[in-house]
Amino acid sequence: MNQSQNPLRDGLRDASETAPQKLSGCLVCGKPLTDSRSTYCSPAHRQQAYRLRQRASPTPDEPDLRRQLQRQRRLTAHTIYECSNCQERFVGERRCPDCHLFARAVGLGGHCPECEQLVLISYLLGEEV
């Protein structure tokens, strides 16, 4: 056969070794797909995935978070307090254990999971304290 008579094949359209491997299941439920070109098992899951992609991710709002913690009676446990005498900061402790003075509330926050230092939520959100 002559080389010009054989059509060139792309290979990407065929399930060949050079073609990138697609996921074998529906992206929403993980159910095995019947068609190798499909991404979702049903039109309902395609629509659900579209709606999830279009949903705006809510940015945390500190006053709303404060109200929610207060409603759950966990506001004090997530508040950072600072002693006016020694400038030491504490999480959830309203009174300085060294000076025995009441501390002022600086804001919502907690311990950093990596270094155990105190971090304010307003610092993470980029807001002024």
Instruction: Give the model confidence (pLDDT) of 5-17 as tens digits.
Output: 656 655 555 554 5
Nearest to 76 by CA among 59, 62, 94: 94
Residue pair 27/49 in contact by the 8 Å Cβ criterion? yes
Containing structural domain, residue 34:
23-55
109 and 67 housed in the same domain: yes
Number of Cβ atoms within 10 Å of the Cβ of 70: 11
79 and 113 housed in the same domain: yes
Q: Band the pLDDT of 37: cuts 50, 70, 90.
A: confident
Per residue in 82-122, pLDDT tens? 999 999 999 999 999 999 999 999 999 998 888 889 999 88
| Rg, the chain, Cα only | 28
pLDDT given at position 79 = 94
* Phi-psi map region of 41: left, alpha, beta (phi>0 left; psi -120 to 50 alpha): alpha
What percent of the chain is modeled with pLDDT above 90?
33
Structure tokens at 81: 């307090």
How many domains is the chain partitioned into structurally?
2
